[in-house]
Structures are given as structure tokens and as C-alpha cells.
Amino acid sequence: MTARRRVAITGIGLVTPAGLDVASTWARIKAAKGCAGPITIFDASGFSTRIAAEVKGFDDLPPLDDRKLLKYASRAHRFAIGAADQAMADAGIRPTHQDATRWGCVVGAGMMTVAHEEIAAIQRAAAPQGEFEPSAILSEPVANDVMAFSRSLSTAGVSLLLRRFGIRGYSSTVHTACASGGQAIGTALRLIRRGVADRVLTGGFDSMISPVGLSGFCLLSAVSPDNDAPERASRPFDLTRNGFVLGEGAGFLVLEEWNSAVERGATIYAELAGDGNSLSSYRITDSHPSGDGPIQAMRRAIYDAGATENDVAYLNAHGTSTPMNDRSECAAVHAVFGERAMQVGVSSTKSVTGHLIAAAGAVEAGFCALAIRDGMMPPSANLRELDPDCAVDIVRDVPRPARIGMALSNSLGFGGSNSCLAFRHPEETAALIAAGR
């Protein structure tokens, strides 16, 4: 029986509210310093929540030298291209004419829509005197701009990445809300395992910090209204938590077939060892209080990795800072790990970055790989009084030194899609291979 192909993580790229690259983002994560502040992208004065975790220094991202990319790229697309460029450079490899069909690209993308300023322009044209005039839309340049339409498609991001890197193999876009980035990476894992691709650029990107995005989350009472203390607004597992902080950004990984990565002398952060998914048929916005959906996803990821619950040292929790989500996820931790539940370090890095929606799972996958590399569990910020219903081993305020043999990352999406990824220390993988496993 042929051994299953293993998958190595050889490149990481991040553009987040915590920084425009891996080094600056990771430093702020370790410092447990929240990124939320007053919204500056648009006038949020009329909203109940007026804070978010924005990507700062957006104009400092490297300029695009491709004029066609510039025409199509939205703010969120620029995040994706910036993070993907970093991941490719970090991996030290790119598609060539000879192997481009053996590269894949799988992207978790957000709910792409026409930009707010374009909607406003159409509104002004269609209701110049306060009364709607449908025919007036046709005279507005934005309504006749094929670029504006193209930017709004959920497939635009993957198309731009394929063009930028010359990838000619399997490509796909995943949109499962907050689970998008995790499920995209899981799809990429399976592509390499099945031999469909040898290398895959994969990750997620999103920006819902807009009047349309913010208003929806405000109506759901999902975002924190702590406008006067934004740096503490995201406080997963805290008894006083009252909603998440909306964020934006992108995270990308380069995945490679393990033996190929070893042969070319690549730096391997970790093995991407397992992928688990489930669907919670409870509420659009919540998992069942028992943690049923996350339980299934976590168990499937561990099984897929050929591991047991005893192998897991660290969990990067979905941990959004909403009352129901945190409680349900902690119930899942106890159900999955049983007597070991208090021996698994748990943190939510959303306490620093905010919730990056479709990008969250990809960015947090990068954090797990970095945690394994550095032998350090990243901390949760802002936890002052632990909710008794969230009684798990939270890594608080400062990093916790630890050799992490296996880490999990949860991404639990609106609509009920649940993703869990499993990551193994490369030394553990090498030992398994040496033992013929």
C-alpha cells in the first residue's frame, strides 16, 4: 500500500491589523496588544459600533507593477496579493513554465460586493432629488464600469493571484463565511495528498469594514459596542465579553509535498497533518451549546492526522468574544479532550487582530505554524475575569514556552460551517517517516 503523501508548510505571508508582514504581526501577537480603534475608512458616527481592527499603513504595501492587476484590485485584493507575495518569497520557490500545471491555488474569499463609494455614486445618480429614478442609473459611470463589476465577484481574488504567479493547475474559491480560510487550506491539503498538485498557494482574505458589513453585524448584535475602550473590546472567554471586533486582512501559505520540500532543502515550519469539517444545523449565527459542530470538526482533524487527542498540545480557538460562541467552543474542548482538557493550552489571537472573517482561518493557520517553530503558545489578550463556562487552560497575556508536537486551529463560520486544521512539528513528522509510518 502506497504511503499517503505528507504536506509541508514552507511559506507564510500575513497582512493584518497587527502588521503588514509576518515579523511585525507575530511580534504584536506575542505582545498581546489589541489592534482595535475608531473606524477611519468611512464615517461610522451613525452606528452603534464605531470601532474595528483596520489594516494600518495600507499605502505602505509594496506597489503593484502590473497595471491590469491595479485596475481590478480592491482593498481586500491588495491584502491578498501582499500576503501571497510574502508567502512565495518565504518559500523561495515560484511556478515555472515547466511546472505551472502542478501548482494549485485555493482561496478563502469574503462576501465580495460593490465598494461602498460605488454604491453611493449610484444612489446619488438614481435619486438626485430624493426620488428614485431607475433610468438615471444608466448615466452613472460606475454602473457602466466593467471593472467595478469584476472586482465585486468572489472569484476575482483567485483570478488575480493566478495571473500574478502564473499558476495553471487546479484553482478554486471557498466562501463559507468565517470558515473560508480554514476550509480553503484543507482543500489544498487534499489536492496534494491526491496527487492533483505538488504545490499549492492557499489562504484567505477579506475586508468587511464598510457600512454594509458593519450594519449587518450591528443588527445581529454580534460586534462589541465598546467604542470608548476599543483596545479591550475583543476579550474572548472573559465574563464581560459582548461581541467581536470586526477586522480585515489576509494570510497565505505555500504548501508542498513533503519529500519535494525536503529534497530542495526548504525550511519547513510544520506538517499540515489533518483537516476536519462539520456542519452545525442549529442557528445561522451560533453553534449548539453542547459544541456539537466543533466537536465533530476537531475529532475529524485529529483522526485525519493519524493522531490521538493525547498528541495535541495547543489549540488556536475560534474564540470570537461572543457569549455563545466561546461557551460552545469550550464545551467542545472538554468533550474532545476529556480528562486532558486542562492540559491543552488554548488562546484566541482574535483578541489582538479582531475577527478577519474569511481571512481568519488562514491567518491563524500561520500563527499555529509559527508557534510550532518558536516553541511558544501565543497568548489571549484582555482576559480579566474568566467566564466559568469557559473553564479551559487559557494562555493569558504573555506567551507560554512549550514544545508543541501538534496544534489545532478552529474556524467556526456563520451558517454552520466548521473547520479544524491539525499541524504537526516537523521533527515529529520526520520521526514518523523514519519509523515507516
Options 1.10.530.10, 3.40.47.10, 3.40.50.10190, 3.40.50.280; CATH for 7-113+152-434 is 3.40.47.10
Look up residue 395 and give its three cell numbers: 494562555
Q: Residue 130 has what pLDDT?
A: 62
Distance CA 301, CA 421 (A): 6
For residue 431, the tally of other CB atoms under 10 A from its CB is 11
Question: If the chain, 437 residues long, is cut into consecutive pieces of 10 residues, what is the mean pLDDT of each piece?
Answer: 86 98 98 97 94 91 75 87 97 96 96 63 60 58 59 80 95 95 98 98 95 90 96 98 97 98 98 95 78 95 98 98 96 97 98 98 98 98 97 97 98 91 98 93
Q: Residue 126 has what pLDDT?
A: 57
Query: Strand pairing of 314-316 and 345-347?
Result: parallel
For residue 289, the tally of other CB atoms under 10 A from its CB is 12
* Number of Cα atoms under 13 Å in the Cβ half of residue 413: 30
DSSP H helices, 286-401, are 292-304, 323-337, 350-353, 360-374
Helices then strands, counting H and E runs in the chain, come out as 14, 14
Inter-residue contact 51 to 249 (CB < 8 Å): no
Burial category of 387 from C-beta neighbours within 10 Å (exposed 0-12, middle 13-18, buried 19 and up): middle
Domain ranges of the chain: 7-113+152-434, 116-149
Report residue 214: phi and psi, to 5°. -65, -40
Query: What's the one-letter identity of residue 278?
Result: S
| pTM summary value | 0.93
Given phi > 0 = left and psi -120 to 50 = alpha, else beta, which region is 166?
A: left
Return the SS3 of 74.
coil
Q: Enumerate the active-site residues.
A: 178, 318, 355
